[in-house]
A and B are shown apart, each in its own frame.
Chain A
Amino acid sequence: MEILVCVKRVPDASENEIEVNSKGTDIERDDLVYSVNEWDNYAVEEAIQIRDKVGGTVTVITVGDEEAEEVLRREMAMGADKGILISDEAFEGADGRGIAAILKAEIEKGNYDLILTGAQADDGAGQVGGMLAAMLDVPYASLVNFLEIIDDKKIKAGREIAGGNQEMNEIELPCVLSIQTGINEPRYVGIRGIRKVASLDIPVRTAGDLGLEASAVAPKVNRVDYFVPEPGEGAEMLEGSTEEIIEKLVEILKAKGGIK
């Protein structure tokens, strides 16, 4: 089975405090620690497990600048066979729709049976997978937290819906799925693993390679600014020594019926 996993290099929200820059044009990007989008790790792990079961190859792909190569290498250290970096100044400022169009152009050069994305990334939109599927005219399912390969023509996919319930679907290949966290336990990648793949070649595709003009990926949706909303009243913050805080908190909890 030929599997493609679309990944994204993002500021790691667990390693950084995300703040707005002084002009409000972007988040403060100096000294940010970047990593692969958390959801994408689950997608890559799932792809690797499928390949190990039924054979085939796992290719990881990203659209980004030169530095985006590091996340491809990380996923190759996890076990992905190949990486493709799509990088071109013409693609800067592309919206979700633009990214999907760029991926489509590359995907049509290949012969993929299964295309996976993370369920969402740093902007919380969760849009690229569904757009890509619609552009390719193949079926899509989002928030997949269970995946079983039935045969080389179809799969069974469970979607995470409300209340911890799961919606089961049978889907013909090729298809696009967005993968939800919790579907598996992504394997750990150490420095040694990354060193092993350091010399592997990762081809770079430009707009010209894909036959795309900048106008083809011109954004329909534009981010105007970043801001931090005026804080509401918010919580009453308890301050003082730990002892004082705990004394106050115990009193409050008792008054509210929080201690039985």
Chain B
Amino acid sequence: MSRQVFAYILHKEGTPDDTALELITAAKKIDPDASVVAVVTGSGDNLNTVCNEMTASYSEVWKVDHADLAYPNAELVRKALVGILPKDAVVLVPHEHFGLDVSPGLSVKLDAPYLPDVADFEGLEGDTLKVIRQEFGGMVSTHVQADISGGAVITPRPGSFQPDESKSSGGQVTDKSGEVGDLTSTRRYLEIVEAEMGEVDITKSDVLVSVGRGIEDQDNLEMIEELAEAMGADVSCSRPIVDAKWLEKSRQVGTSGQTVKPKVYVALGISGSFQHMGGLKGAPFIVAVNKNPKAPIFQVADVGVVADILEFVPELAEGIAEEK
């Protein structure tokens, strides 16, 4: 019997997440012969819509319909997964805020190794799976391996695997709702508090001048604003700037901030973590300025300058002003 790999499908309001098809590619990289099973938890019509859509891409879709799973409270989803999965299950959950919430505990309850934030798979040798991860914010990579004969919990990095668009499966939905058992938890979901709208909607900007940790001091933000003004651009930023409360949250580009799609993106003093780059869509033209020549941002930028932004930015602003 071929190895079963289970892919947990994230979805919202009846629409599967982009990662839903990426996990098929990830599963096939683990084992090309694997039979990949989509696991979809939720409630009601939205759940059925997602399950039906998944049958186009997965030969088997396991549905768990439960009123308490209408919102994916990770504690409850974990219990449901432990209830329905076989003991030696290899489970894939995207490495984002839900995956981070559910997966470590799931690996303990399944007594299986946990391989977090996997950027790529080297494949199986016998039962030993070798994967590629990154450490220190992407500055170095590692090969990590584990024996997955007794199962594994793996969180592939969103955006790192091509979505499998073949839609060739014509699969069927199996209702597993009866097998979930007790779904109680002392963590209770209350509500989603929506982000406050800022003065500028950076998701609509054509040109963004984006600033990161390299700015060093709040007072230095002025030069970024001057550059943006000279270019006719809006100012955005990476996470440390919002953590320091130097700019409002609505200016933050990244998976936990805004998803932007400008034509031109100027990244100043931003190292380029995958969480930051995850908020950048639509293949913009990227200019990166960073004093560290090994900053990961230079791998994804179109044009790079190795320089200290504190010295470079005022000169660039001046250069642009002269051109006008």
Contact = CB atoms under 8 A, between A and B. Distances in A.
User: Are A and B associated in one complex?
Assistant: yes
Interface of A: 11, 13-14, 17-20, 27, 96-97, 100, 119, 122-131, 133-135, 138-143, 156, 158-172, 175, 178, 181-182, 185, 220-229, 231-232, 234-238, 242, 245-247, 249-250, 252-254, 256-260
Contact of B146 (A14, A125, A127, A221): A221
B258 interface: yes
A161 B245 CA distance: 18
A246 B315 contact: yes
Interface residues of B, number: 97
Contacts of A122: 135-136
Given A162-B96, A258-B263, 19 more contacts: A13-B137, A14-B213, A127-B107, A130-B104, A138-B186, A141-B187, A143-B97, A160-B97, A166-B192, A168-B189, A169-B73, A220-B113, A220-B114, A221-B115, A232-B299, A235-B298, A236-B304, A249-B305, A253-B320
A135 B108 contact: yes
B287 A185 contact: no
B292 A171 contact: no
B302 A235 contact: yes
Contact of B117 (A18, A124, A165, A223): A124
B108 A131 contact: yes
Contacts of B242: 182
Contacts of B301: 234-235
A162 B114 CA distance: 23
Nearest to B319: A246
Interface of B: 73-75, 78, 96-98, 100-109, 112-117, 130, 133-137, 139-147, 185-195, 206-207, 213, 230-233, 239-240, 242-245, 249-250, 252, 255-259, 263-264, 266, 285-288, 292, 294, 298-307, 311-312, 315-316, 319-320, 323-324
A33 to B, nearest CB: 13
26 contacts: A13-B136, A18-B140, A19-B140, A20-B140, A96-B104, A96-B116, A127-B116, A129-B104, A130-B100, A142-B101, A143-B256, A156-B190, A160-B256, A161-B192, A169-B187, A170-B187, A171-B188, A181-B240, A220-B113, A220-B146, A224-B130, A225-B143, A226-B140, A235-B299, A237-B303, A256-B285
Contacts of A231: 299
B232 A222 contact: no
For A100, A134, A156, A228, the residue with the greatest tally of chain B CB atoms inside 10 Å of its CB is A134
A52 to B, nearest CB: 21
Given A124-B133, A131-B105, A164 B258 contact: yes
For B107, B133, B187, the residue with the greatest tally of chain A CB atoms inside 10 Å of its CB is B187
8 closest pairs, A vs B, by CB? Answer: A130-B104, A260-B232, A164-B195, A235-B304, A134-B105, A258-B264, A172-B186, A134-B108
